[in-house]
Amino acid sequence: MKSWFLLISLLVTALTAWLVLYAGVPLSTLLSLGLGAVCLVWLVVLLTFPWNLSFAARQVVHEIAVSRESGIEVPAGREEEARTIARRMLVLAVAGHVVSAVVVAVVTFFSGRDVGYYFAGFYLLATAFRPAGAYVAHLRERVRTLGREARYPRLDVIALRDQVEALTAASERLTREVEEVGTELAAARAGLERADHDLSRRLTLMARRFEETVDGLNDNQEVITGLRAFLRLVRADPA
């Protein structure tokens, strides 16, 4: 940005020097043209920024009113803030036009260049031109809004919003239920593991006692051998 500004400044300086030194254009004429260009740029700035902010704030106030008519809650502070911004920007825009016109008229009076009075008049007339243009733009946008609301009414949008909120609540409820089921399954699994461990411990204890009892028998060695084989089978099955 700075490089472009420097380049433009150098070009303007070089052009001014060429016009004064080689083309024979009086310096006063160049100064008048330069001041005229500055006045035009400043007029564009006045017609753009403060007026745009003022009209945008008024549009916000209108949207707040429409939303409240549709049942949408909007904090009261928002509307008051938008009205304050619109009022201040309107005062700033009108004051900018009037002060600029007075400054240009005073400079023209002391410099003796009658063309400055035309710029002063432009500043004053632009005070009425911009609101008129904004009003036409507002009517055009209003027609578009009416057509859009005819196709997609705000009530439909509100109904869709309610449906989305209901679906969101249902989704959150299902998520909580799934988490609860997961917790219950984890608890049941832990209980089954404890029961299985307890059953294995009891079977091991019973097998040990049974083996001790069998070892105490002295007669019928084949029966003892068969019982021991059965005992080994019982031990191997829980594992």
The verdict on residue 209 lying in a domain is yes
Task: Give dist(CA 34, CA 233) in Å, integer.
Answer: 111
For residue range 68-105, list pLDDT tens digits in order.
777 777 787 888 888 899 899 889 988 988 888 888 88
For residue range 25-70, list pLDDT tens digits in order.
555 555 666 666 777 777 778 878 888 888 888 888 888 887 777 7
In angstroms, what CA-CA distances link 44 with 33, 85, 120, 174, 202? 17, 21, 14, 59, 96
Percent share of the chain, pLDDT over 90: 2
Q: Is the pLDDT of residue 21 over 50?
A: no
Residues 32 and 118 in one domain: yes
Predicted TM-score (pTM) of the model is 0.49
Give the residue-averaged pLDDT of 93-120.
80
Residues 180 and 134 in one domain: no
The verdict on residue 26 lying in a domain is yes
Q: Point out the domain boundary residue: 97, 120, 152.
A: 152
Residue 235: both structure tokens together? 């031990």
The verdict on residue 161 lying in a domain is no
User: Across the chain, which distance is largest between two alpha carbons, in Å?
Assistant: 145
Residues 120 and 35 in one domain: yes
pLDDT at 29 (0 to 100): 58
Residues 27 and 138 in one domain: yes
**How many structural domains are present in the chain?**
2
The verdict on residue 163 lying in a domain is no
Q: Is the pLDDT of residue 6 over 60?
A: no
Residues 61 and 127 in one domain: yes
> Which amino acid is located at 217 in the chain?
L
Residue 121: both structure tokens together? 């008049």
Residue 49: both structure tokens together? 């920024």
Residues 26 and 143 in one domain: yes
Q: Is the pLDDT of residue 24 over 60?
A: no
The verdict on residue 86 lying in a domain is yes
57 near 89, Cβ under 8 Å? Answer: yes
State the residue for tokens 């016009």. 19
Q: Point out the domain boundary residue: 119, 152, 185.
A: 152
The verdict on residue 167 lying in a domain is no
Residues 122 and 218 in one domain: no
Residues 134 and 98 in one domain: yes
188: containing domain? 173-236
